[in-house]
Chain A
Amino acid sequence: MTTWKERLKDEIPLEMAKLIDTYEAQMSLRQQGKMDEKVFAEARLRKGVYGQRYDNGQRHDGVRTQALAYPSEDIVKGPDTLWDAPGMQRIKIPYGGLSARQLDVLSELADEYADGILHITTRQDIQLHYVHIDDTPDLMRRLAAVGITTQEACGNSVRNITACSLAGVCHDEAFDVSPYADAMTQFLLAHDDVQDFGRKFKVAFSGCAGQACGLVKMHDLGLLAQSREVAGELQRGFTVFVGGGLGTVPHQAKALADFVTPEQLLPLTQAIARVFARLGEKKNRNRARLKFLVAKLGIDEFRSLVEAELAALPHDPRHTAYLDNVRDFVYEPAKAGLQLNGAPLPEGFDEWYRSNVYRQVQAGYSVVTLHTPLGDFTAQQGFQLADIARKYVGDNIRLTVEQNIVLRWVADADLPALCRDLRKIGLGDAHAGSIVDITTCPGTDTCKLGIASSRGLTAELRTRLIERINLLPDAVRELKIKVSGCFNSCGQHHVADIGFFGNSRRSGNHKLPHFQVVLGGQWQQNAGNYGLAVGAVPAKTVPAVLAALTERYVAERAEDQNFQSWVKQLGRKEIKAMLKPFMQLPTFEDNPAFFSDWGDSRVYTIEDIGVGECAGEVVSLFSMEISKAESTHFEALLALDDGDFRRADERAYRAMVLAARALVRTKYLDVGDDNDRIVNEFRERFYDTELVYDRFAKGKFARYLFKRHAGQPSLLDEDYAHQIIDETQLFIENIHSAEQRINGVIVA
């Protein structure tokens, strides 16, 4: 029986294939108990394979906590995370850009491996939920075959790089940031310098300062496009921001450099990554994001460290090689741009046009926004949308940070027909970007840290608001609502006009789901201001709270006064007073409905909250790298079982080189990936100095590597393959003990 691995072997780029093979080998090692669970957890997260609620093997069913006895019992895929428990697969979609073919494949995977739903995240990713870990290698291969990777979608590394969904077609941008976001994605992916972070690292690009789309101010690294005139010529560059972030303690990013040229962009980023890897907090997970390092050092000190690092950076041709691609970066519209031509319009077209259509800077073309409720769409809609894209826009599809989809390069003349086609597949609703278009994190539905049901609340508010949308004044219609299930703010509630995040309160012996109300955050100006927390209300009162707030806003606002300014004017005290009546807690007997969450009939409990994996596992760089050597050794064993002795030899040799490299990198990060160089550095630093010597065998194990490095034997038979695999095993063991002797006890 053929496998996806065989079927797709000619379609997957070699480097991607290797990364997936390594991960698959690590899975086997973990199942056999031969790989540390924390190291595996971090390796898994760096493949975008995330835990999900109830994966610790228990769930409260509303009456009692039930044990979930999964078949593979106590095999875990991370601390307290059971192997068979369904999980989430996050899939990186750099700057949200998708082709029709990619959308097809994502949809196929959703109905084969998940629950038939594709979920768009607040960082332009796609997530599939309820995926079994055993299916993840094939899932990754099928994605890789169409140029999509899940590498570093989660874990302590560089996450998906986001950018304005209007980049390239926008009236306000300095220039199109897409090719730069693309180049940075490629450059940083699996890069050596992004493997030793204490926490995740998020990058965003924006084409202008005034709009929201790029959200650069809330990112670890934000790049804002600027152009300036030098000797009569327009020069491109970026203002670089660092140390922004949401989470429990939101920080606005600080300007690191006013103008960085495209030639300097990647080296500067690499230097920042190095400083973060070297000096960022590794132990205290709550203070490990770059924002804390920048705050601790001060931006000036941080800047000089980065400058020093930059000066010492080894030359890399890739720093500038991408510039050719930037020059060649063009969009291919499916049709010629034609104005609307008086063809009959579908009913409700004007309304849809007002809210969902953006006139591109290119005459005759528009961007159309498709509103996906709660960020969800079905596999079937995915196929149908891919067809619609092919018909009207080709591959010009992007996901947005508001959990929507945009089709770009729609010929204006096609708008009425496109509107009709989108309605047929349930993606033609008006009011995109309005108050009904609520952003939400996964919350208690699937997130282990969820305290209240952000999706349940969003679904409820959405239904109620849609019913009344035509009665709402424009000032209310334009407001943005964003909901998170807890203080971690994955739903970006800090940057909404009206934000909510889940928490809980007690009444008698019972807990009630609550939402903290956060008002007056700013979406514009790249998330220029964070909102004000004004008090927590029971989840079930939120619709009433929303009504009270918006009614008062409409009644009291000065003409043209926006929500932020009105909130500021009203002040926290006054708003608190206004919310007070909603904060009264009923007893369970009086109003049991308050003791269940939205969309959930169970009596509310916080017992299901688990340990989230957002912070990944802090494992040393050495542990991560030596585990790759171990899984490569495992691949050699598999090759031996298959009778493929040539491959067994190649994998064993590679495993030894990787192990040597892991040790060398504890002293010399820049060793690179050239075998000769690695072996030389290893010899000089660890063998000649006898640091790697075993107490009894002395340098014997190290010499296994030297022997193989000197050349492949002429006869590659089974005996030889056995022997080199055994030697590799001993070599890896030797590296482990040497590392402990040299560097002291390491984490995990």
Chain B
Amino acid sequence: MQTVPKRLAMKLNLARAPQLQPADIVPIFQRWIQQRTVPGLLIDVIDYKHVPDGPGVVLVADEADYAWDLGAGQAGLRYIRKRALPDDLSAALRLCWAGALAAAQALEAEAPGDIVFDYQLVEISYLDRLQYPNDRQVAATALAALATSLQEIFGTKLQLQRLHDDPRYLLAFHCVAGRSLADSLPSPARAD
């Protein structure tokens, strides 16, 4: 069994560029704190839209952050699980998926038709250079374990590709499915 990284992130990309601007996300996230729209101990909203290809606008929570992420020039929702990860990789992935999906769907509800996510692709990164340094060997082992877990979770085989081979970057994978993963297991409510 693979050990669970200290932190784990999942990013869902937007299917197309929306009308909505990053600045419009700040009030949305602030309202989410008022209304506790997404799971977790929601703390604050930080705005980094002034840096190019950065974390964008982040809703910081205790266990996980939700970012309107602009990394790699691609807007999307990035869920970064920071604490209280289960010991089992599949369970950890389920948890992250539930968080990412909950936030993505809540964002779609904010601007129906404008914000649309591509649920066939998810980018997964391991924020743990101690256990998961981004080298070829670790990547190969991690990829195999991840592929197995994802298939078990979604009931479909995903194509995985390592994102960067620069050892300084986080170990990360593009994971592409043949169909939308949104309506497969598990629903956000059940997962958390």
Contact = CB atoms under 8 A, between A and B. Distances in A.
Interface of A: 1-4, 7, 53-54, 59, 61-63, 66, 68-71, 84-86, 104, 107-108, 111-112, 115-117, 129-130, 132, 372-374, 376-378, 380-381, 383, 426, 445-446, 455-456, 459, 462, 599-602
A486 B27 CA distance: 24
Given A62-B34, A373-B50, A599-B23, 11 more contacts: A3-B130, A61-B33, A71-B84, A84-B62, A111-B127, A115-B60, A116-B54, A374-B50, A376-B51, A426-B53, A599-B26
B118 interface: no
A70 B62 CA distance: 7
B27 A132 contact: no
Interface in B33-55: 33-34, 41, 43-44, 46-48, 50-55
Nearest to A117: B48
Contacts of B26: 599-601
Contact of A86 (B43, B52, B53): B43
Contacts of B6: 112
Interface residues of B, number: 39
B130 to A, nearest CB: 6
Given A1-B131, A59-B43, A376 B48 contact: yes
A445 B47 CA distance: 9
Contact of B54 (A117, A132, A462, A599): A117
A622 to B, nearest CB: 36
B83 interface: yes
A377 B82 contact: no
Nearest to A425: B52
B166 interface: yes
Contacts of A373: 50-51
Q: What 9 pairs between A and B have smallest CB-CB spacing?
A: A426-B52, A601-B27, A373-B50, A378-B54, A116-B55, A61-B34, A112-B127, A61-B33, A601-B30
Contacts of A1: 3, 131
Contacts of A4: 130
B51 A445 contact: no
Given A71-B62, A600-B26, A112 B51 contact: no
Interface string B117-133: 00000000001111100
Contacts of B84: 71
Nearest to A456: B47
Nearest to B45: A600
Contacts of B41: 68-71
A117 B168 contact: no
Contacts of B50: 373-374, 376, 459, 462
Given A62-B30, A132-B82, A599-B26, A2 B130 contact: yes
A2 B82 CA distance: 20
B71 interface: yes
Contacts of B65: 115, 130
18 contacts: A1-B131, A61-B33, A68-B41, A69-B41, A70-B62, A71-B84, A84-B62, A111-B127, A112-B6, A112-B127, A112-B170, A115-B46, A115-B48, A116-B55, A373-B51, A378-B54, A383-B169, A601-B31
A380 B71 contact: yes
Contact of B129 (A63, A86, A112, A462): A112
A111 B84 CA distance: 18
Nearest to B24: A601
Contacts of B52: 378, 381, 426
A62 to B, nearest CB: 6
Contacts of A66: 33
A599 B47 contact: yes
Contacts of B33: 59, 61, 66
A394 B173 CA distance: 31
B46 A383 contact: no
B58 interface: yes
A380 to B, nearest CB: 7
A377 B54 CA distance: 8
B7 interface: yes
A7 B55 contact: no
B168 A381 contact: no
A445 B43 contact: no
Contact of B53 (A63, A380, A456): A380
A76 B169 CA distance: 34
A77 to B, nearest CB: 15
Nearest to A3: B130
B170 A111 contact: yes
B168 A107 contact: yes
Contacts of B129: 108, 112
Contact of A115 (B55, B71, B170): B55
Nearest to B84: A71
B142 to A, nearest CB: 15
A132 B30 contact: no
Given A107-B168, A132-B82, A59 B44 contact: yes
Contacts of A459: 47, 50
A54 to B, nearest CB: 6
A373 B53 CA distance: 13
B47 A426 contact: no
Contacts of B58: 115
B34 A426 contact: no
Contacts of A63: 34
A86 B60 contact: yes
B78 to A, nearest CB: 9
Given A4-B130, A7-B130, A378 B46 contact: no
Among A112, A455, A456, max chain B CB count under 10 A is at: A112
Contacts of B169: 383
B40 to A, nearest CB: 11
Contact of A378 (B55, B60, B82, B83): B55
B92 to A, nearest CB: 16
A3 B130 CA distance: 7
Contacts of B30: 61-62, 600-602
A451 to B, nearest CB: 17
B166 A383 contact: yes
A104 to B, nearest CB: 5
A1 B5 CA distance: 12
A111 B53 CA distance: 14
Given A7-B130, A53-B44, A112 B7 contact: yes
A446 B43 CA distance: 11
A73 to B, nearest CB: 12
Nearest to B6: A112
Contacts of B47: 445, 455-456, 459, 599
B55 A117 contact: yes
Nearest to B125: A111
Contacts of A53: 44
Contacts of B168: 104, 107-108, 383
Contacts of B128: 112
B131 to A, nearest CB: 7
B49 to A, nearest CB: 8
A129 B62 CA distance: 13
Interface string B46-82: 1110111111001010100100000100000000001
Residue from B6, B41, B170 whose CB has the most chain A CB atoms within 10 Å: B41
A292 to B, nearest CB: 35
Q: Which of B44, B60, B83 has the most CB of A within 10 A?
A: B44
A268 to B, nearest CB: 42
A67 to B, nearest CB: 10
A130 B51 contact: no
Contacts of B82: 132
Nearest to B32: A61
A63 B32 CA distance: 12
Contacts of B62: 68, 70-71, 84
